[in-house]
Amino acid sequence: MSRKILIINGHPDASAERLAAALSDAYARGAARSGREVRRLDLGALLFPPVITGLELEGEPPEAIRQAQDLITWCDHMVLVFPLWIGGPPALLKSFFEQICRYGFSFEKDSHKPLLGGRSARIIVTMIIPAFVFHLMFAQGVKWLRRGVLWTSGFKPIRTLALGNVFAADRARWLEKVEALGAAGA
C-alpha cells in the first residue's frame, strides 16, 4: 500500500478550472481520506529553464528542479496527470523530465542502473478523442514517459488511465473514478 504520494499536475496552465487540476484534487482527496500522505507539484506554476544542450545536464539542476527531485525521492507512488496535446504530452512536461532525469538522480552514469526503484506510478492522461483511438494510434505519446523515463528510472508497476471523450458531461464521472484510485493508492 502506497503511503507517500506525489501528484504532479502536468498541465502548463495551473488554474483550478483545468480538468488536470480537478483530477489532481480528486486523487488527493481520495488518498488523504484513506490516510495517505500527499504532496503536490503543479508544473504550470514551476519556473525552470528548458534543456538546450546536453552539457546543461552535467551541472547542478535549477533550484525548482532540485526541490522536485526531493519530492520524487520522498514518494513511494507518483501520479502524473496531463492532457494529450497533438498526440503527446505538453512540452512543459517533457522539459520537466529532461531536467529531472539527470545522471546520479534517475540512473547511474556509467551503468545506467535505475536509482528510483521501489516506487510505483500512475499516469492519468486526458483527451478529447475516444480512449480506444488513443490506444490504437496515439499511445506512443505516453510510451516515452512509461518506458523512457519511469521504467528506466526504476518505477514499477506503472499504470495508465486514459480518459477519452473528456467533455463537461463526463467530468463528474471521471472525478469520481480518479478519487477512488486515490483512495486505493493505485
**pLDDT on residue 136:** 72
Mean pLDDT of 75-92: 93
Tell me which residue of 3, 175, 166, 158 sits closest to 76, measured CA to CA: 3
Checking if the pLDDT of 140 tops 80, the result is no
DSSP code string of 29-74: HHHHHTT-EEEEEEGGG---PPP-SGGGGTSPPPHHHHHHHHHHHH
CA 34, CA 32: separation in Å to the nearest integer? 5
- Domains annotated for the chain, with CATH where assigned, are 4-184 (3.40.50.360)
Banded model confidence at residue 111, pLDDT cuts 50, 70, 90: confident
pTM: 0.93
Mean pLDDT of 123-134: 82
Q: Which set of grid coordinates corresponds to residue 118?
A: 521501489
Sheet holding 77-83, edge to edge: 37-42, 4-9, 77-83, 120-126, 158-163
Q: Which set of grid coordinates corresponds to residue 120?
A: 510505483
